[in-house]
Amino acid sequence: MKRPQDICNWRQNFFRRVCKNSFLGQCVYCNLRFCERHGVIGSNYLEVCNKSECLAKKADVEMHLQWKIRVRVANEEQVCAIESCNSFMEIQCNRCQLFFCKFHLKVADIMEFGTGNSQRISAVLCDHCFARRIIWD
């Protein structure tokens, strides 16, 4: 008999039973243990379950990393990291750590996740990171 910690915890909905196949990985976003039917293990051991929220976060991270590579060039030239802006860079975004002019930054309340606890803090965010809050906060 399988121990509870060795099985997939996937549920299709609240009333369905757990999958109970042997687990393959544990989701980096929600901590759910999943089998090969209910998640994937990607490059660098990135384990993500098939929940729509977790798949959205994975896709967002991939797009965000591509965006950072593309716009980092502007910062190397001392220019705002927004692609259509040629203003001098002034302030660093608290999330992506890139620099922007004052017109492409906002102060927003975000969730900061620490060791075992989370708290709402005020942060300076670029337009790009501000738009991503829907998925992460």
Which of 117, 116, 77, 70 lies closest to 96, judged by CA? 70
Least confident of 6-10, 56-60, 70-74, 84-88: 6-10
For 22, other C-beta atoms within 10 Å of its C-beta total 12
Mean pLDDT of the chain: 86
Every domain of the chain and the residues it spans: 52-136
Residue 118 has a pLDDT of 77
The token pair at 57 is: 């976060």
pLDDT in tens, 1-47: 566 567 888 776 666 677 878 889 999 999 999 999 999 998 877 89
Q: Which residue has the higher pLDDT, 26 or 111?
A: 26
pTM over 0.85: no
pLDDT at 86 over 70: yes
